[in-house]
Amino acid sequence: MARILVTEKLADSGLAAMTAAGHAVDVKIGLSPEDLLKEVPGAAALVIRSATQVTAEVLEAGSDLEVVGRAGIGLDNVDVEAATRRGVMVVNAPQSNILSAAEHTVALLLAQARNIPQAHAALVAGKWERSKWEGVELHGKTLGVVGLGKVGTLVAQRALAFGMRLVAYDPYVSPDRARQLGIELLPLTDLVAQSDFLTVHLPKTPETTGLIGAELLGRAKPSLRIINVARGGIVDESALEAALSAGKVAGAALDVFDKEPCTDSPLFSHSNVVVTPHLGASTVEAQDKAGTTIAEQVVLALAGEFVPFAVNVAAAEASEAIRPFLSLAERLGRLFASLNDGLPGSLDVEYQGQISTHDTRILTLAVLKGLFAAGSEEPVSYVNAPQLAEERGLELREVKTATSRDYINQIVLRSSSHSMAGTLSGSREEPRIVMVDGYVVEVPPADHMLVVRNEDRPGMIGVVGSALGEAGVSISSMAVGPATAETGGESSLMVLTTDRPTPSDVVARIAAEEGIAAVHSVSAV
């Protein structure tokens, strides 16, 4: 059981999920920065939304932190670099509010086009102002989409239903993909110059901060209306206010601001500006999905499992082709460390066959996670495993080979003294150890295994079986790798899985038998 500190309102479903996993959920809403520094010690997980600032100081105070979970998409309130240095995983819920954000963008698009909030405010104040709040149609207008990620794409799809012409700027989207969506890709300067409406859907980074600034706005048509439901600061608010005052743009609709909460801004004085207080994710459905998703990620992180939405792990979102091999890769790392009796000086991780054509970085992290699991005093995660390798001087090399002699896919680990390979077998993709120290074997990986190298002569299996039987150790499965020219032609190899660890005195007894060259008790726990 771990203590999970929750500092902002989270959906009941998320709190219940973390409690059901056996953790102590400590809800402390509205903590000041000083109070947070007092509360975070002893917490293994910190769950936040957008208000809590997770600084390097907070991370240092939270010496027991394993994971920080942000129930939402943005992470500008988390010092991810400092978290990574400390081996703290940072996770978010990137898909929880994409639909809500897209719908809010469309709502602001319509509100800006038809002056709905202004007309409402005038009417409830007793003013009937039909002519003053005349709007424009969306049909036939050009919508410029800056960023064709999930939200930007959803907005574009919905804008097509209004009969809008779609143009977009996104250097990471291919022209073919854009054409499939009915969108024309343009350079950003051309996009701003052609758009009647412009909607922003980018993450906030040093490169995107102030992206929509005075220079770009100077290229706009006077009919341009800007919508931002992404992140405050991407649109330069001072430049926007100046453009509005000069009549260089026709209006704006903003849900996000450079500094939040924002209750006073020169932008608020413009009657052609529509504002909302960061409501993009504020739907019942989005909050429920964010709470549930972040709870799942935090529980996985505390269990040391693969966390799909870890943001400070290379290739965190493993492809469908790679994902089935994660457990095998970690198990291979554990078994290899045990076979090697500790950390090797260098390690080659080779991917053979079809798997070699995919991004395998997360599999290498899984191997490292397994490799260090037994010999590290601190919890080993996908985040700190590379740091442990560097700190401990492990020379790691990743190798890819398109061909695999015996199997469609293989993961092979090699050091100067040992080697081991595994694959997934059959339609059920069951893990198998298929090579140990150059000997071809096939045995399911297990928590407790025994690897015996012996003279290739009759009676050797009986020697090992008798010793285990007398000690009350049951053999679950067994594979024999016969002597071949590749292995030297003199010794064979037995790989046995057992129901419990083989006691050290039994290992010593087997090793002392005539014809036995080496015995390794191998554990994956």
Percent of the chain past pLDDT 90, that is, above it, reads 67
Give the pLDDT score at 60: 95
Catalytic residue chosen out of the listed positions 81, 129, 137, 260: 260
Percent of the chain past pLDDT 70, that is, above it, reads 96
Check whether 99 has a pLDDT greater than 50: yes
Mean pLDDT of 398-406: 88
Give the pLDDT score at 315: 42
Question: H/E element holding 225?
Answer: strand 225-228
Q: Is-catalytic flag, 260? A: yes
pTM for this model (two decimals): 0.60
Give the pLDDT score at 379: 52
Give the pLDDT score at 385: 79
Mean pLDDT of 406-411: 91
Give the pLDDT score at 452: 93
Check whether 137 has a pLDDT greater than 50: yes
CA atoms within 13 A on the CB side of 308: 13
Catalytic residue chosen out of the listed positions 70, 225, 231, 432: 231
Give the pLDDT score at 200: 97
- Write the CA distances from 460 to 292, 456, 493, 508, integer angstroms: 55, 8, 10, 16
Mean pLDDT of 138-154: 94
Average pLDDT, the chain: 90
Higher pLDDT, 30 or 405: 30
Check whether 313 has a pLDDT greater than 70: no
**pLDDT tens digits, 66-81:** 999 999 877 889 998 8
Check whether 377 has a pLDDT greater than 70: no
Give the pLDDT score at 305: 83
At residue 458, φ and ψ (nearest 5 deg) are: -60, 150
**What SS3 string covers 271-316?**
CCEEECCCCCCCCHHHHHHHHHHHHHHHHHHHCCCCCCCECCCCCC
Give the pLDDT score at 36: 97
**pLDDT tens digits, 10-47:** 999 999 999 999 999 999 999 999 999 999 999 999 99
Amino acid at 249: V
In this predicted structure, which of 86-100, 289-303, 374-388 has the lowest mean pLDDT? Answer: 374-388
**pLDDT tens digits, 414-473:** 999 899 999 998 888 899 999 999 899 999 988 898 999 998 888 999 999 999 999 999
Amino acid at 269: S
Q: Is-catalytic flag, 104? A: no
N-terminal to C-terminal alpha carbon distance within the chain = 19
Task: Give yes or no for a contact between 364 and 349, defined as CB atoms under 8 angstroms apart.
Answer: yes
Q: Is-catalytic flag, 201? A: no
Task: Give yes or no for a contact between 14 and 23, defined as CB atoms under 8 angstroms apart.
Answer: no
Please tell me what DSSP assigns to residue 493. E
Mean pLDDT of 214-238: 96
Give the pLDDT score at 435: 92
Check whether 483 has a pLDDT greater than 50: yes
Give the pLDDT score at 174: 72
Task: Give yes or no for a contact between 408 and 353, defined as CB atoms under 8 angstroms apart.
Answer: yes
Segments in 86-208 forming alpha helices (H): 98-114, 116-124, 150-160, 175-180, 188-194
Catalytic residue chosen out of the listed positions 278, 334, 358, 448: 278
In this predicted structure, which of 235-244, 344-353, 401-410 has the lowest mean pLDDT? Answer: 401-410
Give the pLDDT score at 316: 47
Give the pLDDT score at 78: 93
**pLDDT tens digits, 232-241:** 999 999 999 9
**pLDDT tens digits, 266-285:** 999 999 999 999 999 899 99
**pLDDT tens digits, 101-115:** 999 999 999 999 999
In this predicted structure, which of 198-207, 328-337, 490-499 has the lowest mean pLDDT? Answer: 198-207
Identify the band that residue 291 occupies on the pLDDT scale cut at 50, 70 and 90. Answer: very high
Domains and CATH numbers, the chain: 3-94+285-302 (3.40.50.720), 98-275 (3.40.50.720), 319-436 (3.30.1330.90), 446-525 (3.30.70.260)
Amino acid at 88: V
Check whether 210 has a pLDDT greater than 50: yes
